[in-house]
Amino acid sequence: MKESEFIDKHQQDWARYDHIMSSIEQGKVDLVDTSELPKLFRARCAELALARHRMYSSRTCENLNYRVTRGHKLVARSESVFKEKIMHFYTAGFPQAMRREWRLHIVCWLFFLLPFFGMWLSYGYDQEWVHSMLGEETRNNMDEWYGKDSKGSMREEFGSNFMMFGHYINNNIGIDLLTVAGGALAGVGSLFLIFSNGLAMGASMAYVMYEGSPERLLSFVSGHAPYELLGMIVSGMAGMRIGLAMIKPGQMSRGRALLESGKRGLPLIIGACSLTFFAAIIEGFWSGEVIDVQVKYWVGYIGWFLLFVYITFAGRSAQA
């Protein structure tokens, strides 16, 4: 192949490659598909080797070498790119994913709040519903921890803050992942777990409100509740995204639809685990501390407010 034919054949590919690199270097990553860069970079490497083998002019070889060197700087900076990806995920990627799935967000909250308040309000009409939901052992534990004359605490049961933290990590993140996995049942499994959690939490809240010390319970849960509850809801959203791909794959095969839903759901899964992990830190090392009740309440209020601002406004700038 003549050199002129070689240049004409690859001119469009080079122009696209240059455009993607320029966009990345200028921070305009939302305007291009950055996932194409490694593939295009490997093609330029092969073309450079071929041009040298065929002994094309130094100008052609130097141009290709410049493109390869420039692309290598973008592709090979793995450590900095990894840090940038983490920063971008938490400052823009996760809240953007939440806003994209706002319909699922509303559905999951409804499946939690309706049974929560329904079970709570039902206590005034029929206490047996709540008692049967909690069971005798759970009621005895709640009497010990949150009874009107109770002086016990969960920390006394676990022995240390770190043991409490480990328990909550194992239990709560396990529930989140199970909720995500429930999406494989056409999304019904995820909604069922959220619904059952709403029933259990509503029953616990009702029991303590009527027969225990509400202040002890609310002061304990107020600090970590915003992050733990939102983590559960977000895991349900991820499971629903998987379930919808099975129910409504569109023009794609179900296998392809599941793959695409996994890409869309992955930020939600990571975000849910991150929220639950943060909640476990607060729950294990702070919620059980003897601190003024009003301070604990205000920490909870501020937590809800910050989450609202974060999800609503983070990642909306052109740079993000």
- Tokens for 310? 């974060």
pLDDT at 318: 55
How far from 254 is each of 97, 249, 259, 263, 265, CA to CA, in Å?
A: 22, 6, 9, 14, 16
pLDDT at 320: 54
Cβ contacts of residue 40 below 8 Å, gap of 6+?
A: 13, 16, 17, 20, 71
pLDDT at 75: 77
Q: Of 97, 89, 36, 46, whose CA–CA distance to 67 is shortest?
A: 46
How far from 52 is each of 15, 45, 46, 59, 67, CA to CA, in Å?
A: 21, 11, 10, 11, 15
pTM exceeding 0.75: no
Task: Please tell me the distance from the alpha carbon of residue 107 to that of residue 269, in angstroms, as a whole number.
Answer: 17
Which DSSP category does 319 fall into?
Answer: -
Beta-bridge partner residues of 157: none
Structural contact between residues 279 and 172, judged by C-beta atoms closer than 8 angstroms: yes
Amino acid at 23: S
Q: What are phi and psi of 40, to 5 degrees?
A: -65, -35
pLDDT at 234: 95
DSSP 254-268: HHHHHHHHHHHHHHH
Beta-bridge partner residues of 147: 212
Task: Please tell me the distance from the alpha carbon of residue 190 to that of residue 183, in angstroms, as a whole number.
Answer: 5
Low-confidence ranges of the chain (pLDDT < 70): 29, 77-82, 151-161, 318-320
- Tokens for 131? 């008692």
Which DSSP category does 61 fall into?
Answer: H
Q: Of 151, 149, 153, whose CA–CA distance to 161 is shortest?
A: 153
pLDDT at 157: 56
pLDDT at 72: 85
Task: Please tell me the distance from the alpha carbon of residue 68 to that of residue 24, in angstroms, as a whole number.
Answer: 15
Average pLDDT over all residues of the chain? 85
pLDDT at 13: 87
Q: How many CB atoms lie within 10 A of CB 148?
A: 11
pLDDT at 243: 86
Tell me what percent of the residues of the chain surpass a pLDDT of 90. Answer: 30
Beta-bridge partner residues of 77: none
Polymer length of the chain: 320
